Each structure stands twice: as C-alpha cells, then as structure tokens.
Amino acid sequence: ARVNHALSVIEHLLDEPARQQRNQGGTRWRWFCDNCDDGECEQHWLPRQR
C-alpha cells in the first residue's frame, strides 16, 4: 500500500513533465516500464528501474 501511495504521489507531481519528456523521446523520466511502456506497471517497474 505504501509503494502504491508513493507511486501515485510521484505520478501526480511528475505527470506533466514526465509526459512531455516521454513525448520528446527523453530518457530522463525512464520510470515507465520498458517491457510494456506503462507507467503504472507493477509487474516490471521495480526490477527495470534505472
């Protein structure tokens, strides 16, 4: 539950900049899942974190 809450807080704060960087092909906001390209992916997100 804490992890999900932390992720929701991070997504709320970084939603717009992350979306803009992602649209520009930037790799700075690489917290999106590399396998399924989903920012909410709980299956791959942590092990693929960079």
> pLDDT tens digits, residue range 6-27?
888 877 777 666 566 556 654 5
Q: Is 37 helix (H, G, I), strand (E, B) or coil?
A: coil
Q: Where are the alpha helices (DSSP H) in the chain?
A: 2-23
pLDDT band at 2 (very low <50, low <70, confident <90, very high): confident
- The number of C-alpha atoms within 13 Å of 21 and in the hemisphere containing its C-beta is 12
Amino acid identity for residue 23 in this structure: N
Amino acid identity for residue 31 in this structure: W
Q: Is the pTM of this model over 0.75?
A: no
CA end-to-end distance (rounded Å), the chain = 22
Q: Is 24 helix (H, G, I), strand (E, B) or coil?
A: coil
